[in-house]
Structure 1
Amino acid sequence: MNQVLVAVIDGTRARFLTLEQAELPEYESGPNLVEHKSLFNPVKELQGKELWANVKSGRNQGLSGQAHAYDDGRQQHVTEFERRFAQVIGNEILNFTQGKRIQRLLLIAEPHILGVVREVVTPLLPKNLQIQDLAKDLSKFKLKEIYEYLASKSLLPIRKQASG
């Protein structure tokens, strides 16, 4: 069977799963997804003053009492935080592809994060790695639910039920 790595990502977490055959196919259903590692983006967990000196963005009050808007550059910082997290994800995927002889990568992420991850990760990966992606947030799904969803989209083979 092809060695498959499934990376399920949202803005705060990346889960790394592989597709494994059942040890005793006569008695166990399979193949199954097995989670090997989870990474967390600590910046996304920070709130308000832990991350920014001023909690409210883009507003200032003049002497006359009228507020006026301005761009304080927070979105640029958030984008940079996302790129750094994507870089960490890319390095982890690279480690998996080398250590487990991964031949196929499924990148599953919410649409915005998928774009960032694609941009950062793709240049790091071996050219012979087959990459497929899906813009869907499955990060909070259980392993069996992820498997069933990906199988329904023909991204993973249908699970064979145990005959016993």
Structure 2
Amino acid sequence: MNQVLVAVINGTRARFLTLEQPELPEYESGPNLVEHKSLFNPVKELQGKELWASVKTGRNQGQGSQAHAYDDGRQEHINEFERRFAGAIANEIVNINKSKRIQRLLLIAEPHILGVLREVVAPLLPKNLQIQDLAKDLCKLKPKDIYEYLANKNLLPARK
């Protein structure tokens, strides 16, 4: 069976699973998804003053109680944090590809994160790697439930 890597990602966590045949196929059903590694995005865990000097954004009080809106650049920082997390994910995919000789990559991520991943991950991967993606957050599911969902979408073979 060709090697398949399933990367399940949301804004906070990335999980890397491979499709593995059971040790005793005559007695066990398979294939199964086996989780190899997880990455966490520490910036998404930080909140309020842990991340920003001021928790309020885009307002400044002027004379006579008139508020003035302004852009404090937080969105650019958030975008950069997401690109860095996507870069860490791309590096992990490259490392797993070196050790497992992956032939197919399934990127399963929240829609916004998937867009960032497409930009960052694709240039770093080998050209012969088949990449499929799905805009869905499956990060909180167990490997068996992820497998079932992807098999129902015809992205993974049915269990035998």
**TM-score (normalised: structure 1):** 0.96
Q: Give the Å deviation of 1:64.
A: 1.1
Q: Give the Å deviation of 1:66.
A: 1.7
Report 1:1-164 matches (<5 A).
1-160=1-160
Once residues 71 and 159 of structure 2 are traced to their aligned partners in structure 1, the CA distance between those partners, rounded to angstroms, is 51
Q: Give the Å deviation of 1:122.
A: 0.3
**What SS does the aligned partner of 1:144 have?**
helix
**What SS does the aligned partner of 2:64 have?**
coil
Q: Give the Å deviation of 1:67.
A: 1.4
Ranges of 4+ aligned residues in structure 1 off by more than 6 Å: none
**What SS does the aligned partner of 2:56 have?**
coil
Q: Which runs of 5+ in 1 are unaligned?
A: none
Once residues 109 and 45 of structure 2 are traced to their aligned partners in structure 1, the CA distance between those partners, rounded to angstroms, is 18
Query: Aligned letter for 2:18?
Result: T
Once residues 127 and 52 of structure 1 are traced to their aligned partners in structure 2, the CA distance between those partners, rounded to angstroms, is 40
Q: Which runs of 5+ in 2 are unaligned?
A: none
Q: How many percent of aligned residue pairs carry the same amino acid?
A: 83
Cα RMSD between the aligned structures?
A: 0.6
